[in-house]
Structure 1
């Protein structure tokens, strides 16, 4: 059984990126490994640095020490599917909701026309007999 170590990417394809890295490739490597955009990993690291200062720097240095640069023989990771499925884009959901509201409005208008019509009054009188 293979044990997880630095040389095999901890069996999770965790390496520092040699192609997209700016400083040492830690953020880009993590983003590639988890199938997220690189800019998102950089924003998270920058936010962590801004709000915690030294913790962000220490985590980045730990990444430099613990993660090996991606070797040429290592397979490029297929981007993982995001853990959450957000469904349809917001614009499509808004259009579908607007269409449902229009249909509801049309049904309500038909009902109001019937309730205010003479036919409703006659139907009511027949039921009351």
Structure 2
């Protein structure tokens, strides 16, 4: 038999906006709170009556989360640890183009580089492309290019 703690679906009034149902669902499944809210609003738009009734029923049926059970911050991090009833953040080390090392979060929507580092890389690539383009323009407008074109016509 497993000695893992049983999770309960509870409302979280402290993190919730209206009744704490979305916050409770986010805490139960280990999801980001804003994702659950987007799903709830989308469901409310697409199936207004059913979603509204389901939300009210969940608000009435679900118990409030006791204050002693709450951890430091269960929202805004990726990865759910069932034993600790907390959510952990996972990061990886990545090296930038200029040799710096940084920690990059591994959330699904943050899988790439940090925005400022990605922008630095883009600027570097564009400056290289601009230099290449300038060299090409200089060559095409030179007299050497014109002489070579004349030889090709012969």
Match of 1:88 in 2: 113
How many angstroms apart in 2 are the aligned matches of 1:108 and 1:22? 54
| Distance in 2 of aligned mates of 1:115 and 1:53 | 64
Considering fraction of residues, name the structure with more strand.
2
Question: Using the alignment, how far apart are the partners of 1:3 and 1:49 within structure 2?
Answer: 38
- Do 2:10 and 2:65's aligned partners in 1 also have CA atoms closer than 8 Å? yes
What per-residue deviation string (whole Å, max 9, x for no partner) do you get for residues 66-107 of structure 1? Answer: 644212342426443134434235565345324312211212
Q: Which has the higher helix share?
A: 1
- Decide whether the 8 Å contact of 1:9 with 1:15 is kept in 2: no
Q: Which has the larger radius of gyration?
A: 1
CA RMSD across the alignment: 3.9
| Mapped pair 1:106 → 2:131 | yes
Unaligned 5+ residue runs, structure 2? 79-106, 148-154
Structure with greater contact order relative to length (CA < 8 Å, sep ≥ 6): 1
- The answer to whether residue 32 in structure 2 is matched with residue 36 in structure 1 is yes
Return the offset for 1:117. 4.5
Aligned to 1:16: 11
Question: Normalising by the residue count of structure 1, what TM-score does the alignment of the two structures yield?
Answer: 0.57
Distance in 2, Cα, partners of 1:102 & 1:56: 52
TM-score (norm 2): 0.51
